[in-house]
């Protein structure tokens, strides 16, 4: 955490390139004897469970919600820093405004209790209530820096023997030294000082005695490791981690370039405590922003060598939410809607090889769609101490949490359900979580490994049937279905197939037409081919198109009319296995290019390919070549309505073309600009004209905007 509102942006610019893994990995249950779950059905250890980050909730607010938190399947709560902090804005209690949330990350002493969250006794009571319901307590700890208002720092801390602060300027050529010995914007503490290490350790032990079960260390990568350069290495971590708690993790944000990643030393920190997987959260947000990432391309957490079970993962953190009020940018998360948060949570929490953290947004900041997201205040009702919004206990989130707890020890696989918009996280033969990130309902009819029977969706109560290895049912748009073998949600019974009606139709030998690819058949979907009986158009047969991953060819040898210089074609399935290579195909060229700069050729395979003969696939070798040009200045008559026919010229557009302007005085009709009469003579109007081409089967919809100056005479 940094003081400045947009301070994390520079640390996270490369997250758009990060993709995450949903490969099938076995998960080992707790090594303890007996069940890994406690009497409340929660993971008894924080590791492998789900943490609810009660950001800026008071101790009393957390206590009041504890039964709901436990019933919602969270193994732990995480508080904001519990020690004394800077009292800014005369003690104002707004998250942002008359008060600032980030004052809680500006320590003034390590006495427990502060004006934002409550007293030490209230902290003890909250911990006791948590343990009553089987929930652990994680405390956020700031040990790397103090408030920049040094006059507010307590004397026992400020006057500590050996000195409180580093004096480094941050101008060293050693990037690791700069990272650990200097902190931009906030005074960097001398963490090499044994007296300071002991002071922090005493604070942590007191927190454990009061009921804390673990700790989250803010800006952990900015505190040196024992095996750093001897000129600045220290025993801080070996000292403070021996505090008697059961779960500890450090905020080690991944770097934005190779040198910063190297300096951050994520893997080294992961060997002494759990660490944050900030890049993974970025890849989940990128999924909602760009739609990038399928089950076959999301391979790993990209955690730079850190073991999966050492990672803490999230869709968003308090920093990505509060430090970046930026729409459509993965370095922030403010723009995510509540249903996107829940879908992202399902994609993370349906797995169990990391520890997961759900960030509770401020109360009153709820958003159910993109429009309401930007109309909703980021700070909600804007009061420190209040419990957050109810998304943390939404039926979908609760269902996913309980699924996660029940599936410990089950292997996992993840697949798209015909499109990147749909994900299925399957856990052995016991259950599956399906997410629908689209505007359309998903009608399932897919192969599955889960046991045969009838399942009731734990989120909404809908019925799903698994029979003969196929799952059927409906997942509504922007919703999540959670299916597993809970006795209250599952029965081995399945509906019987309807009886086959006897037919009196005279048998005849069908004369089939050619196979035709349906409109839904694309590389990324489970399309089908269809052929119709020539004698009876109502009778048809279908067969699946091969699940092709890619078709590549040697572009350097390709020319439009060079049929004797055929490129070498390679076809791979979705696992990367080469199915067709070399010359076992023929190229089918169009009689002429559709337009300048565009070439479309078909690859027709010889013989039988995966049960489909003569399968064709188009290769488009150019982007949409649509061009839009405009005259710099055109003239109009102030005394009458004037049609300016050639102000904007459109060439090579694909599909129907429409126009619109941003000026009511200059409109567009049937592709012609119309200047209304009565405009002021001698005045020049600048008009933006947006041209939109609907596109076709090869091209998506495309819009381009040009400017025209209309001078009135």
Distance CA(542)–CA(515), nearest Å, equals 9
Q: Can you state the angle between helices 395-406 and 338-349, rounded to 10 degrees?
A: 0
Q: Which secondary-structure segment (H or E) carries 604?
A: strand 600-605
Annotated catalytic residue 251: yes
Task: Count the Cβ atoms, other than its own, within 10 Å of residue 311.
Answer: 21
Distance CA(83)–CA(206), nearest Å, equals 11
Residues ≥6 apart with Cβ < 8 Å to 618: 600, 601, 602, 698
What is the phi/psi pair of residue 576, to 5°?
Answer: 95, -5
- DSSP assigned state of 37: B
Distance CA(262)–CA(383), nearest Å, equals 39
Enter the tokens of residue 207.
Answer: 């927190």
Q: Where are the alpha helices (DSSP H) in 172-252?
A: 175-181, 194-210, 236-240
210 to 24, 217, 268: CA distances (angstroms): 41, 18, 31
Task: Count the Cβ atoms, other than its own, within 10 Å of residue 466.
Answer: 23
3-state secondary structure of 34: coil
Residues ≥6 apart with Cβ < 8 Å to 519: none
Sign of CA dihedral 380, 278, 479, 429: negative
Distance CA(483)–CA(455), nearest Å, equals 6
Q: CA angle, corner 646, sides to 645 and 652, nearest 5? A: 120
Distance CA(661)–CA(208), nearest Å, equals 65
Residue 209 near residue 165 (C-beta atoms within 8 A): no
Residue 274 near residue 47 (C-beta atoms within 8 A): yes
Query: Which among 140, 210, 224, 251 is annotated as catalytic?
Result: 251
Residues, the chain: 713
Annotated catalytic residue 121: no
48: left (phi over 0), alpha (psi -120 to 50) or beta: left
Query: Which among 218, 286, 353, 485 is annotated as catalytic?
Result: 218
End-to-end Cα, the chain, rounded Å: 61
Strand order across the beta sheet in which 480-484 lies: 412-416, 422-427, 431-436, 480-484
Distance CA(265)–CA(304), nearest Å, equals 9
Concatenating the DSSP letter of every residue in 99-115 gives EEGGGGGSEEEEEE-BT
- Give the catalytic positions in this structure: 218, 251
């Amino acid at each position: 955490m940094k003081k400045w509102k947009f301070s994390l942006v520079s640390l996270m610019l490369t997250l758009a390139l990060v993709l995450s893994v949903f490969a099938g990995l076995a998960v080992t249950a707790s090594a303890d004897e007996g069940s890994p779950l406690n009497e409340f059905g929660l993971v008894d250890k924080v590791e492998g469970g789900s943490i609810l980050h009660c950001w800026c909730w008071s101790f009393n607010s957390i206590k009041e919600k504890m039964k709901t938190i436990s019933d919602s399947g969270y193994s732990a709560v995480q508080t904001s820093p519990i020690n004394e902090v800077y009292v800014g804005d005369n003690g104002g209690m707004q998250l942002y405004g008359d008060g600032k949330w980030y004052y809680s990350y500006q320590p003034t002493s390590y006495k427990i209790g502060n004006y934002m969250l409550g007293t030490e006794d209230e902290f003890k009571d909250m911990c006791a209530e948590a343990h009553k319901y089987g929930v652990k307590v994680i405390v956020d700890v700031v040990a790397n820096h103090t408030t920049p208002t040094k006059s507010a720092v307590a004397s026992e801390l400020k006057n500590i023997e050996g000195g409180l602060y580093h004096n480094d300027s941050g101008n060293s050529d050693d990037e690791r030294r700069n990272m650990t010995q200097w902190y931009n914007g906030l005074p960097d503490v001398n963490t090499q000082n044994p007296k300071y290490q002991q002071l922090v350790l005493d604070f942590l032990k007191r927190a454990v005695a009061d009921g804390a079960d673990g700790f989250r260390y803010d800006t952990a990568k900015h505190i040196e490791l024992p095996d750093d350069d001897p000129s600045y290495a220290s025993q801080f971590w070996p000292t403070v981690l021996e505090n008697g708690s059961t779960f500890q993790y450090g905020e080690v944000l991944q770097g934005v370039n190779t040198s910063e990643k190297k300096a951050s030393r994520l893997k080294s920190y992961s060997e002494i405590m759990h660490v944050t997987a900030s890049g993974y959260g970025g890849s989940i947000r990128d999924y909602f922003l760009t739609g990038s990432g399928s089950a076959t391309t999301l391979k790993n957490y990209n955690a730079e060598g850190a073991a999966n079970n050492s990672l803490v993962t999230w869709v968003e953190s308090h920093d990505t939410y509060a430090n970046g009020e930026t729409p459509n940018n993965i370095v922030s998360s403010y723009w995510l809607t509540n249903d996107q948060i829940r879908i992202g949570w399902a994609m993370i929490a349906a797995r169990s090889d990391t520890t997961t953290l759900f960030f509770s947004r401020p109360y009153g900041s709820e958003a159910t769609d993109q429009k309401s997201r930007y109309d909703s205040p980021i700070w909600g009702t804007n009061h420190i101490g209040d419990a957050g919004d109810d998304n943390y206990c939404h039926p979908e989130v609760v269902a996913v949490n309980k699924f996660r707890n029940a599936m410990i020890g089950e292997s996992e696989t993840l697949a798209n359900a015909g499109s990147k918009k749909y994900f299925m996280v399957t856990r052995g033969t016991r259950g599956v979580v399906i997410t629908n990130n689209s505007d359309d309902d998903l009608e399932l009819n897919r192969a599955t490994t889960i046991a045969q029977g009838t399942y009731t969706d734990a989120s909404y109560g809908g019925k799903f049937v698994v029979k003969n290895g196929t799952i059927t049912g409906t997942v509504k748009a922007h919703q999540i279905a959670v299916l597993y073998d809970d006795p209250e949600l599952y029965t081995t019974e399945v509906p019987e197939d309807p009886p086959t009606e006897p037919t009196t139709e005279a048998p005849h030998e069908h004369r089939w037409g050619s196979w035709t690819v349906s409109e839904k058949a694309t590389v990324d979907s489970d399309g089908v081919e269809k052929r119709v009986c020539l004698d009876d158009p109502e009778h048809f047969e279908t067969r699946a198109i091969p699940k092709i991953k890619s078709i590549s060819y040697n572009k350097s040898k390709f020319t439009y009319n060079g049929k004797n210089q055929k490129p070498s074609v390679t076809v791979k399935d979705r696992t990367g296995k080469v199915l067709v290579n070399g010359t076992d195909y023929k190229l089918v060229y169009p009689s002429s290019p559709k337009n300048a700069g565009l070439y479309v050729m078909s690859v027709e395979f010889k013989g039988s390919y995966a049960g489909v003969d003569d399968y064709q696939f188009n290769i488009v070798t150019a982007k949409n070549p649509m061009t839009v040009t405009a005259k710099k200045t055109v003239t109009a008559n102030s005394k009458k309505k004037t049609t300016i026919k050639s102000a904007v010229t459109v060439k090579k557009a694909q599909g129907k073309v429409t126009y619109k302007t941003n000026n009511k005085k200059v409109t567009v009709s049937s592709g012609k600009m119309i200047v209304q009469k009565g405009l002021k003579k001698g005045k020049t109007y600048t008009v933006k004209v947006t041209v939109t081409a609907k596109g076709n089967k090869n091209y998506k919809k495309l819009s381009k905007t040009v400017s025209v100056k209309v001078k009135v005479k």
